[in-house]
Structure formats: C-alpha cells, structure tokens
C-alpha cells in the first residue's frame, strides 16, 4: 500500500529451490549459493534492486556482515563495476538498522531502531521519495510480508536444494497475489525474478 509520497517498499533475497535463504548449518551457511552470486544475471539483478532505492532497511546481523565487506568494495577499482555501484550506494544511502541490542549506529548515515518494522515503514512512507529497500534481511522481510507492506519482491532462485535452514515464506502469511515484472535466467540455472504486489 503506497501513500501520498508514493514510496514503494521493496525487498530482495536469494533462495534455494526449497525456499531457504541459508543452509542447514545456520545463518552463515551460504556455501551452496557461492557459485551463483557473481554471475552476470545475479550482478545485473543487484543493480536493478538498488537503482530506485533511497533508504535501506537492515536487520542487525546483516548490517554487521555488510559493514565488514561492502565499504572496501566501494573503493576497489578492480571490483566489478556493478558490485562497486551497489557498494557505493549502500555506503552513501540512508540506512535503518533494526536491533534490540545495538546502542549506536555501526555506519555513517545510519540510525538504529528498536520498533516493529511495520511502524518504521509507515513512518518512512510519509516523507521523502524513492524506494524503501529491505536489503536481504529475512527477519524484516517476514515482518513486512505478515503486515502486507511489501510492494515489490526481488528474488534470486538458485538451483540447489538446501535440505534444511530457514524458509522465507512461513505458514500463516496473509494470502496475496503478485504479478511478474521481470525474469531472467542465467547459464548456471539461476533465475532473477521481480514480482509486484497486486492490490
């Protein structure tokens, strides 16, 4: 649901064929995804995700992981230009980190909030412009799916069955209808999908 500012809420996440965003080894088990994240299709998809976004929403775990990796990519002249573009955007854009434990912001242009995601998004939608991107943070995406506040989903589907790990689409979500806005398939069988919420 967009309001008078017209800001969309978008979200991106990579999933296995069995719908998992990490493997059975826990939140840091991404080994099965590794071959796919640097493909042409995945890198083009990464650019598509951030181009219209002016605010990034992150869970604490992702924020700390991204902080340890992306700032150095932003200044690495040998990095793929698409990776560098995303890294520069992430460093420079407004960031909101959800945490009940952080006491200070881990980055510049960042604020830490300990509040329901739906309330924070409702507040963000009253001012500013550009998309509000939930940046690969499953806990925040799940909360906003439950509240039916996501307008666009950017999904990468990797041709692996994880066999364990957390799923994005838990039982109990409200029913919803989505329209395919973009799809692209890579040489390794990875699929980039963009779905818009039909309201």
The structure tokens listed for 188 are 């390794």
CA distance 80 to 78: 7
Check: CB of residue 146 under 8 Å from CB of residue 69: no
Whether the pLDDT of residue 5 is over 80: the answer is no
How high is the pLDDT of residue 1? Answer: 46
For 103-122, what is the mean pLDDT? Answer: 93
Q: What is the distance between the alpha carbons of residues 182 and 192, in angstroms, rounded to a whole number?
A: 8
Beta-strand pair 131-135/9-16 = parallel
Q: Which of 21-25, 29-33, 151-155 has the lowest mean pLDDT?
A: 29-33
pLDDT value at position 3? 47
- Give every CB contact of residue 54 below 8 A, 6+ residues apart in sequence: 93, 94, 128, 129, 130, 131, 132
- Bigger pLDDT: 3 vs 189: 189
Ramachandran category for residue 128: left, alpha or beta (phi over 0 → left; psi -120 to 50 → alpha): left
Chain segment 54-107, per-residue pLDDT in tens: 999 999 988 988 888 999 999 999 999 999 999 999 999 999 999 999 988 888
Indicate the pairing of strand 152-158 with strand 191-198.
Answer: antiparallel
The pTM of the whole model exceeds 0.85:
yes
Residue 20 pLDDT greater than 80, yes or no: yes
Domains along the chain?
9-198 (3.40.430.10)
- Say which residue, 188 or 4, is predicted with more confidence: 188
Q: Which residues pair with 116 in a beta bridge?
A: none
């Amino acid at each position: 649901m967009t309001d008078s500012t017209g800001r969309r809420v978008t979200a991106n996440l990579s999933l296995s064929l069995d719908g998992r965003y990490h493997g059975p080894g826990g939140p840091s088990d991404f080994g099965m995804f590794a071959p796919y994240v640097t493909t042409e299709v995945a890198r083009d998809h990464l650019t598509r995700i951030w181009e219209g976004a002016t605010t990034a929403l992150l869970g604490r775990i992702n924020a700390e992981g991204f902080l340890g990796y992306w700032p150095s990519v932003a200044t690495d002249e040998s990095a793929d230009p698409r990776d560098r573009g995303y890294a520069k955007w992430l460093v420079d854009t407004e960031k909101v980190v959800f945490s009940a434990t952080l006491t200070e912001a881990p980055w510049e242009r960042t604020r830490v909030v300990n509040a329901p995601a739906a309330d924070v998004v409702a507040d963000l939608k009253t001012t500013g412009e550009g998309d509000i991107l939930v940046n690969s943070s499953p806990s925040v995406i799940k909360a906003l799916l439950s509240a039916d506040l996501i307008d666009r989903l950017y999904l990468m589907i990797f041709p692996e069955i994880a066999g364990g790990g957390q799923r994005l689409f838990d039982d109990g979500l409200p029913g919803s209808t989505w329209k395919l806005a973009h799809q692209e398939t890579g040489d390794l069988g990875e699929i980039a999908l963009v779905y818009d919420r039909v309201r």
